């Protein structure tokens, strides 16, 4: 009898502590599973983050609770890892990898070759002229080898080349890498990556490649890689989508085109922007212009919340059709940490993710959870 009373008391304390802990984290929900729970084994649920976000214990606990996959938002880019030639600085990226390992999360590396956030010396001389091909190739090879060997066995897959395709031009973006090396810089980057870690998955990552205007360029690139004997494991469709644009069918067709090639498809940087877009909107706007472009400073009105939720639902309904999609990564954790607060206009109050600035789930979160659950039931 005494034993039973003790057991009941212990159970009570355990349940109480779990409830208090969850309440402290501010994430407890009696009815809703977490994102990673709802996705189960069907696909990874990822987020991008910056290493300093892990210094906030509540945020760190929230990230580990909701997601099972991490991508560093900036810490694995060339300027973060090798801003000065030959001087590798892994500390901030290591911190994210250690956190992922401590919480049983999968790590994705982003990115080994990109025209942004890359030091000039990689592909240019001191006069900003392209380096000779062999010198540029050796810089690229050494960067890729050193980084991938450092993370061997700890990073599941890499965005080897990011945004190598041109939006308006006929094919490749005319980056410093292309100017120095030539059109085969993407092939070379994949070859170096395969040599450096034969077990890592290698992805080509870009935005809008699911869209009609850019998809043919991506398909051409993937074919050229294949013809060159380069094995690409998957394609990363970034997924920086807008609330208003009605292109669900186009997105569906885009995913299908890549899946039909026998490639894994990752949706790598998801957010849905509910703010008005204006081409060329710089930071030097008048107060009135800024007011019109920043309409939800006090919060997202209910009707827009619903619209955002339905947009997320429609996107996830498409995503769940494809077993080739093995990961969805959101670009940021909560609305407060989204890059879209500063793009294309700096200092706006944006609301593109599933949780608000206080980690409260939005209707979009419920829509995503419901879609994930319905799809797992249907299987
Ligand atoms: O670290 C400096 C800080 O010292 C300085 O005070 C501050 C002033 O602006 O800038 C800080 O650097 C910023 C950095 O993010 C870290 O916050 C840069 O200005 C800012 O440009 C940089 O933005 C990053 C952007 O890539 C750069 O292109 C975003 O965080 C990052 O989320 C974004 O991610 C990209 C993906 O890599 C590729 N796909 C598109 C996506 C969104 O642009």
- CATH, residue 166: 3.20.20.80
Asked if residue 28 is part of any domain, the answer here is no
Average pLDDT of the chain to the nearest whole number: 91
Domain count, the chain: 1
Least confident of 17-21, 82-86, 95-99, 201-205: 17-21
Give the model's confidence band at 3: pLDDT under 50 very low, under 70 low, under 90 confident, else very high: very low
With vertex at residue 36, the alpha carbon angle to CA 33 and CA 42, rounded to the nearest 5 degrees, is 115
Asked if residue 279 is part of any domain, the answer here is no
The two tokens of residue 79 are 């300027």
How far is Cα 112 from Cα 96, in angstroms, rounded to an integer? 17
Report whether residue 269 contacts ligand 1, using a CB cutoff of 6 Å.
yes
What pLDDT, on the 0 to 100 scale, is given for residue 59? 98
What pLDDT, on the 0 to 100 scale, is given for residue 286? 72
Whether the predicted pLDDT of 331 surpasses 90: yes
Asked if residue 118 is part of any domain, the answer here is yes
**Residue closest to 245 by CA, chosen among 314, 332, 166:** 314
How far is Cα 336 from Cα 117, in angstroms, rounded to an integer? 22
- The pLDDT > 90 percentage for the chain reads 85
For 241, residues 6+ apart whose C-beta sits below 8 A from its C-beta are 251, 270, 271, 272, 273, 311, 315
Asked if residue 269 is part of any domain, the answer here is yes
Q: How far is the CA of 343 from the centre of ligand 1 (A)?
A: 10
Q: Per-residue pLDDT averaged across 149-171, rounded?
A: 97
What pLDDT, on the 0 to 100 scale, is given for residue 12? 39
For 6, residues 6+ apart whose C-beta sits below 8 A from its C-beta are none
Question: Is residue 21 within a helix (H) or strand (E), and if so which, with residue range?
Answer: helix 2-25
CB 206 within 8 A of CB 214: yes
For 286, what's the count of Cα atoms within 13 Å in the CB-facing half-sphere?
A: 2
With the C-alpha atoms ordered 334, 337, 339, 342, is the resulting torsion angle positive or negative? positive
Whether the predicted pLDDT of 240 surpasses 70: yes
Q: Per-residue pLDDT averaged across 195-215, rounded?
A: 98
Asked if residue 32 is part of any domain, the answer here is no
Asked if residue 20 is part of any domain, the answer here is no
Report whether residue 117 contacts ligand 1, using a CB cutoff of 6 Å.
yes
Whether the predicted pLDDT of 234 surpasses 50: yes
Structural domain span for residue 248? 43-274+290-378
- Other beta carbons within 10 angstroms of residue 5's beta carbon come to 9
Whether the predicted pLDDT of 19 surpasses 50: no
For 196, residues 6+ apart whose C-beta sits below 8 A from its C-beta are 144, 145, 147, 148, 149, 152
- The pLDDT > 70 percentage for the chain reads 89
Q: Which residue's structure tokens are 């249907």?
A: 378
How far is Cα 205 from Cα 237, in angstroms, rounded to an integer? 6
What pLDDT, on the 0 to 100 scale, is given for residue 332? 98
CB 227 within 8 A of CB 265: no
- Other beta carbons within 10 angstroms of residue 117's beta carbon come to 13
Report whether residue 359 contacts ligand 1, using a CB cutoff of 6 Å.
no
Residue 64 in 3-state DSSP?
helix
Asked if residue 4 is part of any domain, the answer here is no
CB 234 within 8 A of CB 265: yes
Least confident of 144-158, 244-258, 262-276: 244-258
Report whether residue 53 contacts ligand 1, using a CB cutoff of 6 Å.
no
Instruction: Classify burial at 220, counting beta carbons within 10 Å of its beta carbon; exposed 0-12, middle 13-18, buried 19 or more.
Output: middle
What pLDDT, on the 0 to 100 scale, is given for residue 245? 73
Asked if residue 30 is part of any domain, the answer here is no
Q: How far is the CA of 118 from the centre of ligand 1 (A)?
A: 12
Whether 75 is catalytic is: no
**Ligand 1 atom closest to Cα of residue 110:** 37
Give the model's confidence band at 161: pLDDT under 50 very low, under 70 low, under 90 confident, else very high: very high
Residue bearing the CA closest to ligand 1, atom 17: 74
For 20, residues 6+ apart whose C-beta sits below 8 A from its C-beta are none
Q: In Å, how far are 155, 193, 255, 288, 317 from 249, measured between CA atoms?
A: 33, 34, 10, 36, 11
What pLDDT, on the 0 to 100 scale, is given for residue 224? 98
Whether 163 is catalytic is: yes
With vertex at residue 149, the alpha carbon angle to CA 154 and CA 79, rounded to the nearest 5 degrees, is 95
Report whether residue 83 contacts ligand 1, using a CB cutoff of 6 Å.
no
Q: Which of 334, 339, 340, 344 to mutate to test the pocket of ligand 1 (most atoms within 8 A of CB)?
A: 339
What pTM did the predictor assign?
A: 0.91
With vertex at residue 221, the alpha carbon angle to CA 137 and CA 140, rounded to the nearest 5 degrees, is 15
What pLDDT, on the 0 to 100 scale, is given for residue 282? 59
Q: Annotate 82-99 with DSSP letters as a single string.
A: -SBTTB---HHHHHHHHH
Residue bearing the CA closest to ligand 1, atom 19: 342
What pLDDT, on the 0 to 100 scale, is given for residue 29? 57
**Ligand 1 atom closest to Cα of residue 207:** 39
């Amino acid at each position: 009898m005494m034993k039973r009373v003790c057991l009941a008391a212990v159970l009570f304390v355990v349940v109480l502590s779990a409830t208090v802990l969850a309440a402290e984290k501010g994430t407890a929900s009696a009815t809703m599973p977490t994102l990673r729970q709802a996705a189960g084994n069907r696909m990874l649920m990822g987020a991008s983050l910056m290493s300093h976000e892990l210094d906030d214990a509540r945020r760190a606990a929230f990230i580990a609770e909701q997601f099972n996959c991490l991508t560093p938002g900036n810490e694995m880019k060339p300027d973060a890892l090798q801003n000065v030639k030959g001087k590798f600085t892994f500390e901030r990226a290591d911190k994210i990898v250690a956190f992922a390992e401590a919480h049983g999360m999968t790590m994705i590396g982003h990115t080994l070759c990109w025209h942004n956030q890359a030091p000039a010396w990689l592909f240019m001389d001191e006069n900003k002229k392209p380096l000779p091909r062999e010198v540029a190739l050796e810089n690229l090879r050494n960067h890729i080898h050193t980084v991938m060997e450092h993370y061997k066995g700890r990073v599941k897959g890499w965005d080897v080349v990011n945004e190598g395709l041109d939006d308006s031009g006929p094919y490749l973006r005319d980056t410093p890498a292309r100017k120095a090396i030539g059109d085969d810089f993407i092939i070379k980057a994949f070859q170096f990556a395969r040599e450096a870690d034969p077990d890592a998955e290698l992805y080509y990552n870009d935005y809008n490649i699911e869209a009609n205007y850019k998809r043919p360029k991506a398909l051409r690139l993937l074919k050229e890689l294949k013809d060159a004997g380069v094995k690409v494991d998957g394609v990363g469709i970034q997924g920086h989508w807008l609330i208003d644009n009605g292109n669900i069918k186009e997105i569906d067709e885009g995913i299908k085109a890549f899946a039909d090639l026998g490639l894994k498809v990752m949706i790598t940087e998801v957010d849905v922007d509910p703010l008005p877009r204006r081409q060329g909107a710089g930071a030097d706007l008048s107060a009135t212009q800024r007011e019109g472009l920043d309409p939800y400073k006090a919060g997202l009105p209910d009707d827009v919340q619903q619209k955002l939720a339905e947009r997320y639902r429609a996107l996830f309904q498409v995503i769940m059709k494809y077993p080739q999609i093995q990961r969805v990564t959101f670009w940021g954790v909560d609305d407060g940490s989204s890059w879209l607060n500063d793009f294309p206009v700096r200092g706006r109050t944006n609301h593109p993710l599933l949780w608000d600035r206080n980690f409260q789930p939005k209707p979009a979160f419920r829509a995503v959870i419901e879609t994930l659950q319905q799809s797992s039931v249907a299987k």
